[in-house]
Amino acid sequence: MFFWRENRKGFTQSLENGIASTKRGETTMPFFSAGFTLIELLIVIAIIGVLSSIVMANLNNSRNRAKDAAVKLAMGQMANLMALEYSATGSYCNLQYGWITAGGGTCDTVFSGSYVNEARAICKSIFNNAGENGWSTPGAYKIYSNTGLGCASTYSFMIYLNKGKWYCSGSSGRKGEYAAYSNVQNGSDIGVTPGCYMQP
């Protein structure tokens, strides 16, 4: 809809039969107002939705990478603690537990010895940042220290990452990411697993 106004010299314009006419030869720009159509609004909303989904996906990926980095940093602190424990006692037994779960074996009850408080604090940090393993009890099994190795001179920790892999840290300094915490072959148990888990 066009709105016409008087120009500075007092001449006016009119719109006749869709054709602009000018009196005394001077023209001015018409004022007009227009709103979005429904289709235009829907297109804008759709574009905003697509952009939002892209931003959220990137945000989630960045958050998961940060959490996995925090897990590895915490496991590095645990490795330092294990070295102190071995230096003090001659074994890693006080800081080995097996499956650390959200139920019966929580971070508040596991471990013992002189470094128990530090180890439990690291355990909580790992639990807060580790990924969900997708098992029947989500979050129940995120950390496993392989007590099957014998705790006197070796240890290995397996931690589930947000990227969907298990991160392992072993007593010899060996580290790595694995698709599973164990490789079951012919019905055998976790003892057949190669790499850091069984050869830390």
**CA–CA dist 177, 181 (Å, integer):** 9
Q: Does a structural domain hold residue 2?
A: no
Q: Does a structural domain hold residue 95?
A: yes
**CA–CA dist 130, 167 (Å, integer):** 10
Q: Does a structural domain hold residue 187?
A: yes
Structure tokens at 191: 């003892």
- pTM more than 0.85: no
- 3-class secondary structure, 31: strand
**CA–CA dist 142, 10 (Å, integer):** 82
Q: Does a structural domain hold residue 27?
A: no
Could you tell me what percent of the chain has a pLDDT over 70? 64
Q: Does a structural domain hold residue 76?
A: yes
Q: Does a structural domain hold residue 168?
A: yes
- Number of structural domains the chain divides into: 1
pLDDT in tens, 143-180: 877 777 778 888 888 888 898 888 888 888 888 888 77
Which domain, by its residues, includes 70?
A: 38-192
Q: Does a structural domain hold residue 3?
A: no
- 3-37 as b/e: b if 16+ CB within 10 A: eeeebeeeeebeeeeeeeeeeeeeeeeeeeeeeee
For residues 64-71, give the mean pLDDT.
93
Q: Which residue has better confidence, 33 or 180? A: 180
Q: Does a structural domain hold residue 188?
A: yes
